[in-house]
Amino acid sequence: MKGKRNFFIGLVCAVLLAAFSSCKEDVQNTYSDYRAYFVCQNVNTVPPLNAALNSLGVFCTVRYDRSRFLFTDETGHSTPVNATAIAGNSSLQMGIAGFIVGLPNIPELGSSISVPVCYDLACPNCYSAYNISKSLQLKEGGYAACASCGRTYSLNNQGQISAGEGGISLFRYRVSYSGNTMVVNN
């Protein structure tokens, strides 16, 4: 009987050890280590961004292009805003390729309400594999697709791959939206 008990204790210890150990490459942090800092005051004056932050399942991209910011919705409609009109960007860091911002229609696990999210506009799998920034294209229904590798990411489901070869989820940044101001950072 004592031998069976020792065997059972050994088996339980082995199972627990296997359960609590993991490979480093299997773990992905929620937020990216890439530098990001962007402040947009007066969100209500930028229609694509205002819709993305106030409507479930709507997203827009934010890019910096020659002293102006381009805010583009899922249909491809862009609103340019002069960089000097957006205050608080003396330390501007646009991640790798810019941002995808929106309000997912699926709350995060453990939450009952959706809060705004921000992802990098670069395909994380192409960037990790080739160190080349391949920008994603917004698709209707809350998706972003990479023309280079063929992966599609669900923006409503924490940036996870929804179609294509396996890999890592979208790079994510912290975002806060209060009053009429949005701040992206990490």
Q: What is the CATH number of the domain that holds 175?
A: 2.102.10.10
- Residues 6 or more apart whose CB falls under 8 angstroms from that of 62 comprise 38, 40, 49, 69, 70, 71, 94, 98, 99, 100, 101, 121
Asked if the structure places residue 35 within a domain, the reply is yes
Domain that holds residue 82: 30-185
Tokens linked to 101: 């911002």
Tokens linked to 43: 């969100």
pLDDT in tens, 126-170: 998 888 888 999 999 999 999 999 999 999 999 999 998 999 999
Full DSSP string of 76-105: S-EEEEEGGGS-S-TT-EETTT-EEEEE-S
Asked if the structure places residue 137 within a domain, the reply is yes
Asked if the structure places residue 5 within a domain, the reply is no
pLDDT in tens, 42-96: 899 999 999 999 999 999 999 998 889 999 999 999 999 988 777 556 678 899 9
Asked if the structure places residue 13 within a domain, the reply is no
Asked if the structure places residue 90 within a domain, the reply is yes
Asked if the structure places residue 14 within a domain, the reply is no
Tokens linked to 33: 């280590």
Number of domains in the chain: 1
Average pLDDT over residues 23-48: 80
State the pTM of this model.
0.81
Asked if the structure places residue 138 within a domain, the reply is yes
Average pLDDT over residues 97-117: 92
Asked if the structure places residue 6 within a domain, the reply is no
Q: Can you tell me the distance from the alpha carbon of 144 to that of 18, in angstroms, rounded to the nearest whole number?
A: 36
Question: Does 100 have pLDDT greater than 60?
Answer: yes
Q: Can you tell me the distance from the alpha carbon of 102 to that of 155, in angstroms, rounded to the nearest whole number?
A: 8
